[in-house]
Structure 1
Amino acid sequence: MFSQTSRLTSRARFLSGRCYTIDLTVAASAIAAAFVAAPAAATVLFQEDFEAYAVGSNLTGQGGWVPDYVNSALSVGNGSFLPTKVLNGLAASNNGMLNFSARPLGFALDPNRITTLAVDAYASSGARVHDTVIGFGNASIQTFTASGVFWTANLISSGRWDFNAVPLTGHAGDSFIVVGGYGTPVKMSIVVDGVANEVYGIYDFGGGPLQTPHYAITDVQIATLNEVGVVFDFRSGTRGAELDNLRVFDNISTAVPEPGTAVLVSASLGLLGFARRRR
């Protein structure tokens, strides 16, 4: 016959085993949550909202923007469809030429990071918008469209956006056509993923973001990208889209946890050690 003391000791041991199991579960969950709930914060590398320029002025020659070809008449204006100052192809004086301008970043993209170029845009089929191009390029090669990756607004089949990575990858099939994106503000992005070694586009025509196919790239190719470029084609009476809020940012680095993640992992490992000692 067990004494009261022995019965309490047995029950205490039983509960101790249960607590050990719960502690390990909580610790494992905390470690997983540390990596899921603490993503790396985005680091803005370059941004341009055109607010610093006079309405009607030529962007090229201001704010670090330089000619990327013979012609570079890219005017800043008040947006007709986007709410603030924009790079305003719809209202630009038509010089009948193909106009290139670029903004050297002062650094090459890091092959160990995921870097995104994002832009707000508006294209109108009624204004004959054609050949507005924006993307990454190599400043040492004339015209970024010969060296980089870019989106193009094309007034074909009532309007479409073309994603083109061919100049960067060297593979003829690395391009994708998206029908639509005209007559409404849209969000366009180019993602250069050095972690997965791929490049792709993201487009949001108002129904949520969608992705183009992903195309393979090398670290060497990523490191050639060091400028943002823009093209407006004013030939044959065509006009460009409105562009605003250009942003280049890194959103993750390779395998180095954020400080908050490290603290959570350390606390979780401590919890595991505590549970082990209890066992």
Structure 2
Amino acid sequence: MRTFLLLLLAVTVSALCRPVSAATLIFSEDFESYTVGNELVSNEKWGSVTSSPTGTLLTATADPSAVFHNGTTNKYLRISDTSNAALTRLDSKPSSAFQLATLSLDFYEPSGVNGTYWNISFPGTASIDFNGGQIRINSGTYSTVYPIDATHHLDIVINNTTAAEIYGINSVASGTFDLWIDNVLILDNYALNSTTGTDLTKFVFSTSSGSYSQEMWIDNVSLYSGIAVPEPSAVHLLLLSMAALFVCQHCCRWRHA
């Protein structure tokens, strides 16, 4: 029993103290530099902007209700498509290519629409559909994972290297990605479509060309080369803390026995 508890203590401490992978910020956008109501255009951050068909918008928008919790003067990106045909697309221009990366952003999907579809285009690598609180990967089956009419934080840890990577108390295998929403791991080691060991160059936000209304609000977009570790969920921390406390209590009893 004593050996087991000591082993549990070692595992718990290791999980709490596991080193964090280094990450370098290679793209950042908070939309504060844009004029409210203006359409986004190609610039040093966005290489391709497609929103010309009637009914499509990529617009810098005021946030007087502080939806993104950055104050009432905050601005965010409104992606809207009521064209029933054309798609809206926004291609990023990171400062460097990468194989291991973390895409982080905040999003809000209003009710009454079907959300939006964006291709993590790391082209040809993975696509993620957001639709009424549901997520679909690579045109697969939808699963409900988040409530609409609420602000959420998204982290995608993508590993296109030839080796697994450890971060925090988690790991992401070669040729897979992890998807976190509100610091909860939703998808673990989901397979990519690309050949491992090849560079990724950008991510893309876009709407579908389907005949339905789509809208998503996005803010605080960051792309890191490397892994920017999502904060562990409260449940994980609670379980680890309880395990450490349990072991410490029993160790103290041995010393005073």
Instruction: Tell me whether the two structures share a fold, i.e. TM-score over 0.5.
Output: yes
Following superposition of structure 1 onto structure 2, how do residues 73-152 of structure 1 map, counting pairs within 5 Å?
73-79=57-63, 81-83=67-69, 84-89=74-79, 92=80, 94-96=82-84, 97-110=86-99, 114-126=100-112, 128-138=113-123, 147-152=124-129
How far 1:116 sits from its partner (Å)?
Answer: 0.8
Percent identity between the two aligned chains: 21
TM-score when normalising by structure 2: 0.61
How far 1:248 sits from its partner (Å)?
Answer: 0.9
Greater share of helix: 1
Alignment size in residue pairs: 195
Q: What's 1:181 paired with?
A: 147
Output the CA distance in 2 between the equivalents of 1:200 and 1:100: 22
- How big is each residue's C-alpha offset from its partner over 1:203-233, in whole Å with a ceiling of 9 and x where there is no partner? 325xx41231413459844524201211135
Say which one has the larger Rg: 1
- Root-mean-square deviation over aligned CA pairs: 3.5
Greater share of strand: 2
Following superposition of structure 1 onto structure 2, how do residues 208-219 of structure 1 map, counting pairs within 5 Å?
208-217=183-192
- How big is each residue's C-alpha offset from its partner over 1:30-61, in whole Å with a ceiling of 9 and x where there is no partner? xx98x946534432121111111111111232
The answer to whether structure 1 residue 200 and structure 2 residue 160 are counterparts is: no
Q: Is the Cα–Cα contact under 8 Å of residues 44 and 249 in structure 1 kept in the other structure?
A: yes
Output the CA distance in 2 between the equivalents of 1:176 and 1:222: 29
Q: Determine which of 219, 230, 234 is the counterpart of 1:244.
A: 219
Q: What's 1:66 paired with?
A: 47
TM-score when normalising by structure 1: 0.57
The residue identity in structure 1 corresponding to 2:46 is W
Q: What's 2:254 paired with?
A: none
Q: What's 1:153 paired with?
A: 130
Q: Is the Cα–Cα contact under 8 Å of residues 67 and 101 in structure 1 kept in the other structure?
A: yes
Output the CA distance in 2 between the equivalents of 1:100 and 1:190: 19
Which runs of no fewer than 5 residues in structure 2 stay unpaired?
A: 1-9, 165-173, 229-257
The residue identity in structure 2 corresponding to 1:226 is T
Q: Is the Cα–Cα contact under 8 Å of residues 132 and 232 in structure 1 kept in the other structure?
A: yes
Q: Is the Cα–Cα contact under 8 Å of residues 60 and 76 in structure 2 kept in the other structure?
A: yes
The residue identity in structure 2 corresponding to 1:85 is K
Which runs of no fewer than 5 residues in structure 1 stay unpaired?
A: 1-28, 139-146, 167-172, 254-279
- How big is each residue's C-alpha offset from its partner over 1:160-213, in whole Å with a ceiling of 9 and x where there is no partner? 12233x7xxxxxx6x7734433121112222112332132242325xx412314
The residue identity in structure 2 corresponding to 1:149 is A
